[in-house]
C-alpha cells in the first residue's frame, strides 16, 4: 500500500483507516477494533443510527485489505457528495452538527457504546443533513467512565458557536487556524463578560479553560481519585451541553449584503430571461454536479438543484449562507448545500503535511460552474486580470455558465464611483477573447433589458 492511497486525514485512530483503490473509497477495520465493531453492528446501534440518518451507511466487502496484518474487515462506506469543513459552514450548520453529535452520543449510550471522539470533521452534510461519517468513532461504554470526547466537543463545537453568537460571527474562521478546535483559554478571553451568566458557557468554557490551565502537564490517574461518573450524570452532562448549544443564536440581519436580491438592477423581464437562459444551458449539458460561485441566497443555484443536480452554493457572506441554509431546511431540499467561501482567498489545504483537509481547488472539478454577476466583483473590486479569472474557472469545472457585466451597467458604475478606472481592458470583446483561449464558447445571449451577457462555455 502506497502512503498516497491512504486518505490524508485518516491516520490518528489505530482502529482503522480510509484508503482508495481504483477510485473506490474503503475503510479498513483493524483487529484492534474487532470487539467494538461487533458491538456496533450486533447491538442494534448501527441500524438505529443509519435509519435515523445520523450515521453513514456501509457494506462489508470481500476485497484485499490495505494492511493485511492489521486487518479485521474492509468496509465500503457510502460516499459523501462533497466534503466540506466547519470553517465553510454557517452558524446553523455548525449548530446542527453539534446537536447531531450529542444525539448520536445519547443514542450510543442506550446501546452501551460511547463516542471516543467528537471532531467537527467527523460530520458531513449529506442530502442536506449532518451525518457522522466515522464508523469507527464508537467504543464500548463502561459504567462510571467519563466522556473522553468532552474536551473535543467543547473545542470543536461549543467554542466556535459561542464566539459566533456572543462575539462576532467571523470568529468561526479561527477553526481554519486551529485544526483541533479553538483553544478554550483563547475562547474564554475573547468571549464577552455576559457569557459568565450563561451556566453552560461558564462551566464548559470558562471553568473548563481554568481547569485545563491548572492541570496542564500534570500526570493524573482516575484510579487514584476513585472518581466515577454515573450514567445519570453522563446524560445530565449531555443534556446540559444540548441546552447550552440550543441557547446560542445568531441573527444574520445587518451583514454586508443585508438586502440581497433587492439590490439587483434587473427588471422583472430581465430576471426571468436570465433564469430561462440558465435553465436552457443546464438542460443542454445535463451536469451531475454544479458549483454556484457567489450564490447569494441561492436563487440561481435552485434552478440546478430543482432539476435534481447536486449543487453547492458558495458565498463569501455568512448572512447569505445562513439564510440559504435555513431556506434549505424549511423546504427540505436535499440537492443543495450552501457553503461559506471567499473566492479571493479560498480554503487552503491544512493539517499534517498540508494533507489532512483539502483545499478548495483539490475538491474540484464540478461538472458545471455558475459564475453569475461575479466577474465584475473579481475583476474590478479585487483587481484580478481577466486571464487569471479564465485560468481559475478552467480548473473548476468542465462547463462554465458565466455572466459578463460591462462598465455601462449601473452595478459596475457603482464599483467605480470612488476609485480610478484602471481597467481599460474590461470590455466584452476582451472578455470573450481571453476566455476563448481556455474555453469553447458554445452559446451566448444578451439578457433582456440590460447590457449583461451570459455564456455557456466548455473547457478546452
Partner 1 sequence: MSSHMIILSISLLAGLSSPPTHVRAYLDPGSGSILLQLLIAGILGAFLVLRSSWGKVKTFFSRLFSRDVDKTE
- Least distance between partner 1 and beta carbon 184 (Å): 9
Looking at the DSSP assignment, which residues form a beta bridge with residue 17? Answer: 28
CA distance 271 to 330: 24
Question: 51, 53, 170, 36: which is closest to 112 by C-alpha?
Answer: 36
Estimate the crossing angle of helix 91-110 against helix 318-330, to 10 degrees: 50
* Dihedral sign from CA coordinates of 350, 354, 356, 360: positive
Comparing CB distances to partner 1, the nearer of 114 and 335 is 114
CA distance 68 to 109: 32
Comparing CB distances to partner 1, the nearer of 70 and 229 is 229
Binding site for partner 1 (CB under 8 A): 12-15, 116-117, 145-152, 154, 197, 199, 202-204, 207-208, 210-216, 218-225, 227-230, 232-237, 239-240
Comparing CB distances to partner 1, the nearer of 146 and 365 is 146
Residue 402 near residue 371, CB atoms below 8 Å: yes
CA distance 440 to 460: 6
Q: Give the residue carrying C-alpha cell 464508523.
A: 135
Comparing CB distances to partner 1, the nearer of 133 and 209 is 209
Comparing CB distances to partner 1, the nearer of 162 and 289 is 162
Question: 361, 365, 364, 366: which is closest to 348 by C-alpha?
Answer: 361
**Which residues, in sequence order, are CB contacts of 438 under 8 Å at separation 6+?**
390, 391, 393, 394, 459, 460
Comparing CB distances to partner 1, the nearer of 218 and 460 is 218
- Least distance between partner 1 and beta carbon 207 (Å): 5
- Least distance between partner 1 and beta carbon 191 (Å): 16
What is the Cα Rg of the chain in Å? 24
- Least distance between partner 1 and beta carbon 77 (Å): 20
CA distance 79 to 57: 9
Comparing CB distances to partner 1, the nearer of 11 and 266 is 11
Amino acid at each position: 500500500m502506497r502512503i498516497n492511497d491512504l486518505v490524508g486525514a485518516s491516520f490518528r485512530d489505530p482502529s482503522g483507516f480510509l484508503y482508495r483503490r481504483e477510485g473506490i473509497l474503503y475503510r479498513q477495520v483493524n483487529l484492534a477494533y474487532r470487539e467494538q465493531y461487533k458491538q456496533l453492528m450486533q447491538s442494534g446501534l448501527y441500524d438505529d443510527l443509519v435509519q435515523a440518518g445520523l450515521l453513514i451507511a456501509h457494506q462489508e466487502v470481500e476485497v484485499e485489505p490495505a494492511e493485511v496484518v492489521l486487518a479485521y474487515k474492509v468496509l465500503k462506506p457510502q460516499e459523501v457528495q462533497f466534503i466540506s469543513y466547519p470553517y465553510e459552514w454557517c452558524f446553523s450548520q455548525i449548530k446542527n452538527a453539534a446537536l447531531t453529535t450529542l444525539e448520536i452520543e445519547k443514542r450510543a449510550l442506550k446501546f452501551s457504546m460511547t463516542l471516543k471522539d467528537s471532531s467537527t470533521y467527523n460530520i458531513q452534510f449529506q442530502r442536506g443533513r449532518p451525518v457522522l461519517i466515522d464508523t469507527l468513532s464508537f467504543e464500548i461504554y463502561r459504567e462510571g467512565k467519563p466522556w473522553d470526547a468532552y474536551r473535543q466537543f467543547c473545542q470543536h463545537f461549543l467554542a466556535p458557536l459561542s464566539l459566533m453568537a456572543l462575539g462576532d460571527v467571523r470568529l468561526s474562521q479561527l477553526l481554519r487556524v486551529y485544526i483541533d478546535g479553538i483553544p478554550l483559554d483563547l475562547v474564554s478571553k475573547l468571549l464577552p463578560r455576559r457569557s459568565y451568566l450563561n451556566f453552560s458557557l461558564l462551566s464548559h468554557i470558562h471553568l473548563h479553560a481554568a481547569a485545563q490551565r491548572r492541570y496542564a502537564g500534570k500526570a493524573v490517574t482516575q484510579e487514584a481519585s476513585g472518581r466515577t461518573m454515573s450514567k445519570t450524570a453522563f446524560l445530565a452532562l449531555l443534556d446540559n451541553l444540548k441546552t447550552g448549544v440550543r441557547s446560542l443564536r445568531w441573527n444574520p440581519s445587518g451583514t454586508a449584503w443585508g438586502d440581497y436580491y433587492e439590490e439587483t438592477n434587473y427588471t422583472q423581464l430581465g430576471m426571468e430571461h436570465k433564469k430561462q437562459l440558465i435553465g436552457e444551458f443546464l438542460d443542454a449539458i445535463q451536469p451531475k454536479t454544479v458549483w454556484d460561485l457567489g450564490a447569494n441566497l441561492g436563487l440561481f443555484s435552485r434552478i440546478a438543484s430543482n432539476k435534481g443536480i447536486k449543487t453547492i452554493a458558495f458565498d463569501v457572506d455568512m448572512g447569505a449562507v445562513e439564510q440559504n441554509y435555513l431556506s434549505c431546511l424549511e423546504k427540505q431540499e436535499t440537492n443543495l448545500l450552501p457553503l461559506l467561501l471567499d473566492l479571493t482567498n479560498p480554503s487552503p489545504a491544512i493539517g499534517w503535511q498540508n494533507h489532512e483537509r483539502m483545499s478548495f481547488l483539490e475538491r474540484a472539478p464540478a461538472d458545471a460552474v455558475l459564475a453569475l454577476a461575479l466577474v465584475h466583483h473579481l475583476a474590478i473590486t479585487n483587481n484580478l486580470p481577466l486571464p487569471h479569472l479564465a485560468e481559475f474557472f478552467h480548473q473548476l469545472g468542465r462547463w462554465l455558465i458565466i455572466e459578463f457585466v460591462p462598465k455601462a451597467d449601473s452595478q459596475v458604475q457603482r464599483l467605480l464611483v470612488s476609485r480610478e478606472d484602471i481597467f481599460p481592458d474590461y470590455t466584452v470583446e476582451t472578455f470573450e477573447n481571453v476566455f476563448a483561449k481556455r474555453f469553447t464558447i458554445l452559446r451566448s445571449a444578451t439578457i433582456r433589458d440590460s447590457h449583461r451577457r451570459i455564456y455557456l462555455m466548455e473547457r478546452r
